[in-house]
Structure 1
């Protein structure tokens, strides 16, 4: 179930999972570990800041050796 309104510059949990190539349980684990924080929404339908997701994408990129 997707929220009815997500502010510009934010992503739903489903969109975050798609961007990171992970499942919804993994998104919840990122939140529990403090690697991703909710930017709003409800407990059942949170949304996340796009800038936070981009930071995770950059952190997961392999570094050139």
Structure 2
């Protein structure tokens, strides 16, 4: 069940993913890695600020080459 309506500037995981052109799992990964914080909702239906979502999307992400180099160190 999705929210019927949210205040302007807020979005669900699904709408955040649509806004950034990524999968909802990617948005959940941003939360897990600390790039994005929930601002409300429930544990199963979190709500995010759209500005925060766009900032998380624009944030530099580690490349797979960078992760491999870290694992060797």
TM over 0.5: yes
Ranges in structure 2 where 5+ consecutive residues have no aligned partner:
61-73
How many residues align structurally?
A: 60
Deviations 1:30-57 (A, max 9, x none): 1000011101000111110011023234
Q: Normalized against structure 2, the TM-score is what?
A: 0.69
1:13 aligns with 2:13: yes
**Structure 1: tracts of 5 or more residues without a match:** 61-65
Q: Aligned Cα RMSD in Å?
A: 1.6
Structure in which a larger fraction of residues adopt strand: 1
Greater helix share, structure number: 2
Instruction: Report the TM-score when normalising by structure 1.
Output: 0.76
Q: Which has the higher contact order (CA 8 A, sep 6+)?
A: 1
State the structure with more CA Rg.
Answer: 2
